[in-house]
Each structure stands twice: as structure tokens, then as C-alpha cells.
């Protein structure tokens, strides 16, 4: 029986949660992890058009959002 590999798009790869999710999700399929500094595809949520383009280009089976603002007490 063939194994189906899912395509997983993870936003927030540089944070603590995103870092751990990259490892955890990798057993479930191919993980494309993005953050605000990503070069190949937009992972910056202040650029919604870029996010839409990334999702359309990558066509993931699953999207995980681990993006967060650091130092929220100073935001």
C-alpha cells in the first residue's frame, strides 16, 4: 500500500512553537516552513497579498499558523 505524503505549510517557523512544529510535522509529510524573513515565498502577515500568493503557489493540504508577535508586553 502506497503512503500518501501531505504537503504542510507552516507559518511562524522561527518562533519556539514553530521550531518544534517543524520537527513534529515532518513525519506527516513535506513541510514548507515560512516566517517574515522567508525569501522563496511570503510569510509576512503584514503583507496579505503575499500570503495569498504563497498559499496559491504551494497549494498545501494543511496550513498551520504558529506565527506570533514576540515580546507582546512591549507591542
Top pLDDT among 5 and 66 is at 66
- Alpha-helix residue ranges (DSSP H) falling in 26-69: 48-58
Contacts of 67 (CB under 8 A, 6+ apart): 11, 12, 15, 18, 35, 36, 43, 45
Whether the CB-CB separation of 9 and 58 falls below 8 Å is answered with yes
Model confidence pLDDT, tens digit, residues 16-57: 999 999 999 999 999 999 999 999 999 999 999 999 999 999
14: cell is: 522561527
Model confidence pLDDT, tens digit, residues 62-71: 999 999 877 6
pLDDT for 46 equals 94
Grade residue 1 by pLDDT with cuts at 50, 70 and 90.
low
Domain boundaries, the chain: 6-74
Global pTM value? 0.87
Amino acid at each position: 500500500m502506497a503512503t500518501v505524503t501531505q504537503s504542510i505549510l507552516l507559518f511562524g517557523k522561527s518562533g519556539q512553537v514553530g521550531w518544534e512544529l517543524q520537527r513534529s510535522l515532518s513525519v506527516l509529510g513535506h513541510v514548507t516552513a515560512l516566517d517574515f524573513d522567508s525569501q522563496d515565498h511570503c510569510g509576512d502577515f503584514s503583507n496579505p497579498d503575499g500570503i495569498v500568493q504563497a498559499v496559491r503557489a504551494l497549494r498545501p493540504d494543511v496550513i498551520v499558523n504558529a506565527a506570533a508577535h514576540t515580546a507582546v508586553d512591549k507591542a
